[in-house]
Amino acid sequence: MNLGLAVFRPKDFLLTDKKEEVLGRLKSEGKHAHIIAGGTGFYELARRGYIPEVKHVVSIMQLGLDYIKDEQTGLTIGATTILQNLLESGAGDRMGLEALGDALREIRPVQVRNVATVGGEVCISVPIVDLPTALLACGASLKILKSDGTEYSISLEDFYIDAFLTKLKYGEIVKEVTLPKKSDEKSAFVKIGRTAYDFNLINAGVSLSTNGDGKLSSIKVFLGGIKRTPLRALSFEKKLLGKKVDERTIVEAVEDAFEKEKLFPSVHGSSEYKMAILPIVLRDCVMKAFERTRG
């Protein structure tokens, strides 16, 4: 039986503050190089034997990307910002960014939160992580640094291609995540996992605003864990837009919108099971955001 334990044998581990060297190594070694940030995701993949082709481990932890900046346009979070530091910074208490705070508190255990990074959570691209769903609800975009020193931006929504696959090319790193300032929206994040400290089975991130009479004037809903990448629930949004929300409307909208969907099954939850808990997650998440609009 191959337990995958002996497969991971990289040749070197680059830990430096020289940006050019890091980007150069990533570009020249291509699929044989792998970025490591906090390391929690990386070592799990390595031990499970998922990345045997990796010969060069390249750390971005000393590139000075550990920052949280409050700017005119919004909040900018460096890629190697530790989740616990982001949580303690109070970033998630800002107007419209409540989903971020919810998600950070739900990422357990503290041993992981103390080392895992924002960039790592975004880039690992597996359906079981929580932060991307919350960031999507907050309207996040990424700034990516290329090996020639130039940068470009991409919205997080366009970033994911498949599980373990993003639009990041060899020789590029995610430099920072930007969250736009919101003036009238409230957001929320809810997840259900197997246990309180586990990855999610399903999670949801919602951002919404209401007009004077309590009807939804805008709503954005993202779901994690139900497909191989985070999914925007467009038909569900459509069914709620312009309506007054209550628990029954939401559950009915879920039933309509997801009637024939096949959800991404995992060892902890089949498609059928996830379908059964989906209305609960969406109900709780939309109501939580909605309650917040009422102060």
Partner 1 sequence: MLDSIVLKINGREESVRLKPYDTLSRVLRDELGMIGTKRGCDYGGCGACTVSIDGKAVYSCMFPAQYAEGKEILTVEGLAPIGGALSMIQESFLVNGGLQCGYCTSGIMISTKCLLDKNPNPSLNDIQEALAGNICRCTGYGRILESIFAAAKSLREVKVGAPIPK
- Of 61 and 201, the one with the shorter C-beta distance to partner 1 is 61
- Of 52 and 242, the one with the shorter C-beta distance to partner 1 is 52
3-class secondary structure, 207: strand
> CB neighbours of 223 closer than 8 A, spacing ≥ 6?
133, 202, 203, 204, 205, 230, 231, 232, 233, 278, 282
Amino acid, res. 44: E
Structure tokens at 45: 């993949």
Nearest to 151 by CA among 120, 176, 170, 132: 176
Which H or E element spans position 121?
helix 118-123
Structure tokens at 61: 């932890």
Residue 75 CB, nearest approach to partner 1 (Å): 24
Residue 260 CB, nearest approach to partner 1 (Å): 35
Rg of the chain over CA atoms, in angstroms?
19
Q: State how far the Cα of 190 lies from the Cα of 128, in Å rounded to an integer.
A: 13
Residue 202 CB, nearest approach to partner 1 (Å): 20
Residue 208 CB, nearest approach to partner 1 (Å): 29
> CB neighbours of 178 closer than 8 A, spacing ≥ 6?
73, 74, 75, 76, 77, 140, 141, 142, 143, 153
Residue 9 CB, nearest approach to partner 1 (Å): 9
- Of 23 and 82, the one with the shorter C-beta distance to partner 1 is 82
- Of 48 and 167, the one with the shorter C-beta distance to partner 1 is 48
Residue 228 CB, nearest approach to partner 1 (Å): 22
- Of 84 and 218, the one with the shorter C-beta distance to partner 1 is 84
- Of 1 and 196, the one with the shorter C-beta distance to partner 1 is 196
Binding residues vs partner 1 (CB under 8 A):
8, 10-13, 15, 36, 39-40, 42-44, 46-48, 57, 59, 61, 84, 108-112, 114-115, 196-197
- Other CB atoms within a 10 A radius of the CB of residue 82 amount to 19
